[in-house]
Amino acid sequence: MGQFEIKDNFYLNGEPFQVISGSIHYFRVVPEYWRDRLEKLKAMGCNTVETYIPWNAHEPKKGEFCFEGRLDLVKFVKIAEELGLYVILRPSPYICAEWEFGGLPAWLLQEDNMRLRAYYEPFLKHIRDYYDVLFPMITPLQITKGGPVIMMQVENEYGYYGDDTRYMEAMCDIMLERGVEVPLITSDGPFEESLSCGCLEGAQPTGNFGSRTKERFAVLSNYTNGGPLMCAEFWVGWFDHWGNGGHMKGNPDSPQDLDDMLDMGHVNIYMFEGGTNFGFMNGSNYYDELTPDVTSYDYDALLTEAGDFTQKYRDFQAVISKYREIPKVEFTTKITKKAYGEMTALEKVGLLEVLEDISEPIVDTFPVCMEKCGQSYGYILYHSPLQKEKNIERIRLWGANDRANIFVDKKPLVTLYDRELTGEYNVITQSVKKAEDVNGAKSAEEPKAEPVTFPVGAPLDILVENMGRVNFGPLMERQRKGIESCVQINGHIHYNWKMYPLPLDNLDKLDFSKGYTEGLPTFYRFELQVDECGDTFLELPGWGKGCVFLNGFNLGRYWEIGPQKRLYIPAPLLKQGKNEIIVFETEGKSSGRIVFWDEPDIG
């Protein structure tokens, strides 16, 4: 049994201990590579690894839990322990992390009036229920029980969000009641107001920042009561969002900032390795516009998304060597990269042709949002016949998020995204009148097109994509996806809908013999023959937007606007022999071919 204490410094079993940590998110790395990444962390000179714990991944549906495979947190911690690394756990229900909904489960939004990250009893009850399952797994891993866990975090950057001290106290009590014995920490932006809002009596305050260490630590010292200074997230890079123009880079002065941190205190490097937002688990930010993150969480970290060394890794290793001896580590995982070349689609089938095979409709007078349909991620299709309308001149989706492809009589009408969904689309002018312009002057634009006409009973289909729930700020409480309110056509509300949830977790039900309609959302099937499994990178030249599945596993999204151009496929996801790749293309753009490279291209 051991002991970790916070006094004027950190003390491990009575001796001063300098925390030199790096962040690895076990849920963003295939478990076959956990040991490799942890060995490389140790070889750089770190003595500790830090990780978040994503609630939405571990409890995807209320009362249904998963701690297996890529979510086997205990196994990850035990591998770290075998390598002689200590562990910092951040089990806060909210993690941010550029992760879908900041780690909160989408099913919270099934409840009307749900309030997040404040003293709101329905929210706290769900946390208690989750912690009743989680903490019996992680409390035995504490150093006081003979394990490697030395600290846990109460909440995450709460001072950026709110100032409800009663909520923070409740979160602390919930953890202590469930057996937490190691010291608790908070982490906040290095500013007076964020620290004052996020600090909590009984928890050590730490700061999150990526530069100007001496200045940031000076502010933090006003809140530590003479205790140690620690940067709990030393941002060495940044994340990419779709359409941002190129891969984001970190602070070029990071090695000097690291030196200053280790001279003055303690550090957790964010990220040591970023990993991948597999599936639909990327988050989004929203300031002036929606900015959903790409599939890669490379983060310009010390190891690349694929676990390769960078110059930044070597620079940081050199700095750390000034403060402790760098251990010799043997890397035990063989990793190779393969370029499997180009292949052509073998079959394709349209979404509308197989809709009834892969989704069971929900019928209602009104459109129903994704969460109320029991769905968290992916797409949802709204279908209704046009029985009374003679044409469409104007259409508006009320309460819609995030991106809607609208089809009339199985022909594309328009795609509306983000702020365009707050206004009315005019078929004649082919433009959107934003909500803020509704009471303004009439548009001076000349007509550009005729109203859309169709036979009586023609279908109206609206495919709405959840691009990733916002993971930061007050808009988190407005993240219901799909259509929550109504659809207006030519000024009147159109009723009577079928909702087809499309989480795309059952593509084994696709029947590729059912045909397709050119220009509409389509599934394409490929086969990859593999003799030797290696890491590879999938490119989709000439495609528009969609997602890719390998042997049923959701690799993530692609989008022609970049900056990410290739999807990372770790070798353990492949199998020797035949591998099936299914591409779901929503924009009707396809070259019908894909290419596998042995190197990334993330912009």
User: Looking at the DSSP assignment, which residues form a beta bridge with residue 48?
Assistant: 21, 86
Strand 184-188 to 203-209 pairing = parallel
The total of other beta-carbon atoms located within 10 Å of residue 52's CB is 23
Q: What is the CA radius of gyration of the chain?
A: 25
Q: Is 491 exposed, middle or buried (0-12, 13-18, 19+ CB in 10 A)?
A: exposed
Joined tokens for residue 274: 């970023």
193 catalytic per annotation: no
CA distances from 239 to 300, 314, 584, 589 (A): 8, 21, 25, 27
Q: At 56, is the secondary structure helix, strand, or coil?
A: helix
Q: How far is 204 from 210, CA to CA, in rounded Å?
A: 20
157 catalytic per annotation: yes
Identified catalytic residue from 50, 100, 155, 233: 233
Please report where in the chains the tokens 């050590």 appear, as a residue: 204
Q: How far is 515 from 281, CA to CA, in rounded Å?
A: 31
Length, in residues, of the chain: 603
Give the amino acid at 579: N
Q: Is the dihedral of CA 120, 124, 126, 127 positive or negative?
A: positive
Q: How far is 279 from 565, CA to CA, in rounded Å?
A: 16
* SS3 of 159-211: HHCCCCHHHHHHHHHHHHHCCCCCCEEEEECCCHHHHHHHCCCCEEEEEEECC
Per DSSP (E only), the strands in 394-550 are: 394-401, 403-408, 411-417, 424-426, 431-433, 452-453, 458-465, 482-489, 492-494, 497-502, 522-530, 536-539, 545-550
Give the amino acid at 44: M
Helix (H) or strand (E) segment spanning residue 217: helix 213-220
Which of 375, 478, 366, 374 lies closest to 421 in space, CA to CA? 478
Question: Torsion over CA of 448, 451, 453 and 456, rounded to 10 degrees?
Answer: 170
User: Looking at the DSSP assignment, which residues form a beta bridge with residue 130?
Assistant: none
Identified catalytic residue from 155, 157, 420, 465: 157
> Contact at 8 Å (CB) between 185 and 203?
yes
Q: How far is 283 from 253, CA to CA, in rounded Å?
A: 28
The residues assigned a catalytic role are: 157, 233
